[in-house]
Structure formats: structure tokens, C-alpha cells
């Protein structure tokens, strides 16, 4: 038989474990992107590809692109991609300059995550 105090301590420990936040891998995060963060490209990328660590609710996920002037660049709807972990967005021809990609996605577990990264299209020589 456990002393009553030890039993109470064990119950408190269990309660704390149950209340602990879920591991970070439960949320959708980018494992790989093309362009990569801070990449300098010799020319316009043609498309943006994001590979996540989990399935996405694609209808409730979005990617936006901001150009060197700070204006948003209109993007078509994400191309159909068979992988539930990928977002692929065709990009119109981009002039040289620095661009910001922002993504906001709903993962299959119901969590929303968002991040941003930059890439640069180098000036033509």
C-alpha cells in the first residue's frame, strides 16, 4: 500500500502530464521549401513549393507573396497536388528584387500555423 501522501503526489504528477502542451510536431510546419528561405535565385522561380510535416486542410490554407515594392502579388489558386502535405502555387514572372512568402495553414489536427520567409530574384547580368 502506498502512503496516502505518495498517492496524492502521483495523482498530481499525472494531472500535470495530462495538462502539458502537445508536442510541437503536432502542428504543420514547413520541412522544405522551394525557393528556400533567403535563397538568391538567378531568375523568377515559376512556382512556390512548400512541403509540410503534416496533412493540410488545403481549402483553409493560403500562401501570399509580397514584392519589392511592398505590394501583394496576385497568385492563382494553389495547383492541384496529390500530396496532402504539399502546397504548390504557380507564380507569375517576377522582376528582380526581394520577395516575402507568407503561409498560413490549417493542419489536419485543427491547428493554424503561419510563418514567413524571404527570397531574392537576382538582377539580370
Which residues lie near Cu ion (CB under 5 A)? 26-27, 109, 111
Minimum distance between the CB of residue 108 and Cu ion, rounded to whole angstroms? 9
Nearer to Cu ion, 21 or 59 (CB): 21
Minimum distance between the CB of residue 124 and Cu ion, rounded to whole angstroms? 42
Q: Where are the alpha helices (DSSP H) in the chain?
A: 4-19
Nearer to Cu ion, 38 or 109 (CB): 109
**Residue 51 burial (CB count, 10 A):** 15
Q: Which residue is nearest to Cu ion (CB)?
A: 111
Nearer to Cu ion, 66 or 113 (CB): 113
How far apart are the C-alpha atoms of 114 and 39, rounded to whole Å? 20
Nearer to Cu ion, 47 or 86 (CB): 86
Q: Which three cell numbers stand for residue 41?
A: 535565385
Minimum distance between the CB of residue 41 and Cu ion, rounded to whole angstroms? 31
How far apart are the C-alpha atoms of 65 and 56, rounded to whole Å? 19
Minimum distance between the CB of residue 97 and Cu ion, rounded to whole angstroms? 34
Amino acid at each position: 500500500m502506498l502512503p496516502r501522501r505518495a498517492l496524492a503526489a502521483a495523482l498530481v504528477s499525472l494531472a500535470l502530464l495530462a495538462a502539458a502542451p502537445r508536442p510541437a510536431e503536432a502542428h504543420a510546419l514547413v520541412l522544405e521549401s522551394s525557393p528556400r528561405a533567403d535563397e538568391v535565385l538567378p531568375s523568377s522561380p515559376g512556382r512556390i513549393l512548400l512541403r509540410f510535416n503534416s496533412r493540410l486542410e488545403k481549402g483553409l490554407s493560403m500562401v501570399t507573396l509580397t514584392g519589392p515594392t511592398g505590394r501583394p502579388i496576385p497568385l492563382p489558386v494553389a495547383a492541384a497536388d496529390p500530396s496532402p502535405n504539399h502546397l504548390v502555387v504557380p507564380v507569375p514572372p517576377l522582376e528582380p528584387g526581394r520577395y516575402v512568402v507568407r503561409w498560413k495553414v490549417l493542419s489536419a489536427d485543427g491547428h493554424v500555423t503561419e510563418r514567413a520567409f524571404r527570397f531574392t530574384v537576382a538582377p539580370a547580368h
